[in-house]
Amino acid sequence: MNLYGGIKVFSKEEMYKVHQAAMQILQEVGLELDLSEESLQKLGKKGLKVDFASCRVRFPVEPILETIQQLSGAPTPEISEEGTDKPPQPLRIPKWLQATVGAQHGFVYDMDQAEMRPASHRDMYDFIKVKRNLKDVIASSSGLYPQDVPQDVASVHAAAAAVKYCENPSAPDVNGVQDLPWVERVMQAAGVWGPEQHKMVGIYPVSPLRLTGRGAEMLEFQAKRGDLSFVLGMVIPGVSSPVTLVGHTVVVLAEEFGFNTAYRLLVRPPNNRFSPRSIGDDVCIMDMRRGAYVLSSPEVSLLRLATHQIAGEFYKFPGPTDGGIRLFPDAKEPGIQAATEGALQAMGNLAQGVYSYDENVSVHVGILGSLCGNLYVCLEQAVIDHEMFQYLQRFVQGIEVNEETIAVNLIGEVGPGGTFLDTEHTARHYREEMWFPELGHRGSWDAWVGFGRRSPLDIARERVKEYLREDLEPVLSEERVREVDRIVQEAEMALLDHTTGILP
């Protein structure tokens, strides 16, 4: 199924103006890269204009255009008012969605106590149980970090839980170059990764046109290993970019093209080329009245649409931009605000944001169950979000057009005044054509009252309690479990003060 049209926020002329503005920023203002003198010297030898005193790097047009050419797969680096030197391709809608459950900041919402609290090891195991029961959800433990251990080793413990209890484990994020090798060793000990396989850590600048701290450290570390990851924008209008949405888009493009050009020039051959891929940014805004970090707003949806449109239509980057469909409500507890914000966000993304130039399209859905701007996870909300996710799953499958589904002969057989209820065609197709909710009630008032007037949240609570009663058996052999536990203990001894002893 192709998408014809869709929501667009820019004209061709406007996209060209945004591109030109980003190029101007990179040439005249530049970026600040808090890297070693050795790395800065290397960038200077590659043709970038480096001020060593301020770490300011300014970019000629040619290396930026080369980065864009690699990302787009265009035959030449030329960019005109039509975009990159590449014919336009039809946008395609995804036919299948995947999701996961969790939150990025290590907290959970406890429905019984109606409070937010730090996540523990038990919480990690509980939400793995819930994931196992949700259709089309990736049963990985990434997305929640235990707070009952020092944060220096939290990522190592999260990796151990993933490999021991998940069929398709993924490595969690890391604090920095200290715990990264230990996470990799856990993945290798479980047999999930091969020897010397590296985790590619995404890098997020958090200051305008500047890469410092963990981001700069990870970029330089991975570049020296020969790993070419990708620097994604994490820009907040009015804070780290202009409050105007188009000014924000200019900063996003300048940062991603500039930082990734520098990254590419630091990596030694043959890994110093980007495979064709798209760009993206972790969009959020600040509520200027309250000073609050916001992930669910019409501005966020517009900014995501803007990035997706210019990435696909102007630069013609293949594939969906990062992020897929997002379900990141700002609500503080499960309920109508969380569901409304998540649904509006998801449909805003579907208006164009997840459409792709790939032949075979599938995208992921933002983490289910997150609340308060992705600060904490609620298992009951995850079950409610999964209901919305299944709705979207049916939506993206579209309408199949063939002789069987058009059903001209059947329509003729039934004729005027007949019914299709008792036909074999209806019995054969209704399950695949129609989506049936499991939490929402579609029957009559009397049937709903007889059902106990239970709300979707009531049913979600019952489901979670049922899931948590299940046993959680490791998916690894006993030998591999012992090896993973041994590496976790070694990591604790290496990363923590030895006087504290080994943590339980």
The pLDDT tens digits of the residues spanning 158-178 come to 999 999 998 888 888 898 999
Domain membership of residue 456 (yes or no) is: yes
Give the model confidence (pLDDT) of 293-325 as tens digits: 898 999 998 998 898 889 988 999 987 655 578
Distance (Å, whole) CA 479 – CA 321? 40
pTM of the model: 0.90
Domain membership of residue 424 (yes or no) is: no
Task: Write down the pLDDT at residue 145.
Answer: 84
Own/partner pairs, 219-226, CB within 8 angstroms, 24+ separation: 219/35, 219/259, 219/262, 219/263, 219/266, 220/35, 220/36, 220/39, 220/266, 221/177, 221/180, 222/198, 223/39, 223/263, 223/266, 223/267, 224/266, 225/198, 226/267, 226/268, 226/271
| Token couple for 166 | 């998940």
Domain membership of residue 485 (yes or no) is: yes
Residue 44 scores a pLDDT above 60: yes
Kindly report the CATH number assigned to the domain that includes residue 247: 3.20.20.480
Q: Residues 17-23: what's their mean pLDDT?
A: 98
Instruction: Identify the domain containing residue 485 by its residue range.
Output: 1-398+435-504
Q: Collapsing DSSP states into helix, strand and coil, what is residue 416?
A: coil
How many domains is the chain partitioned into structurally? 1
Domain membership of residue 430 (yes or no) is: no
Task: Write down the pLDDT at residue 502.
Answer: 44
**Average pLDDT of the chain, as a whole number:** 90
Strands (E), 359-458: 362-364, 370-371, 376-377
Domain membership of residue 169 (yes or no) is: yes
158: left (phi over 0), alpha (psi -120 to 50) or beta: alpha
Q: Of 384, 311, 376, 388, whose CA–CA distance to 345 is shortest?
A: 388
Choice among 21-30, 357-366, 381-390, 442-451 with the minimum mean pLDDT: 357-366
Question: Mean pLDDT: which of 119-133, 137-151, 354-368 is highest?
Answer: 119-133
Domain membership of residue 415 (yes or no) is: no
Is the CB of residue 387 less than 8 Å from the CB of residue 440?
Answer: yes
Domain membership of residue 136 (yes or no) is: yes
Domain membership of residue 240 (yes or no) is: yes
Choice among 54-68, 160-174, 407-421 with the minimum mean pLDDT: 160-174
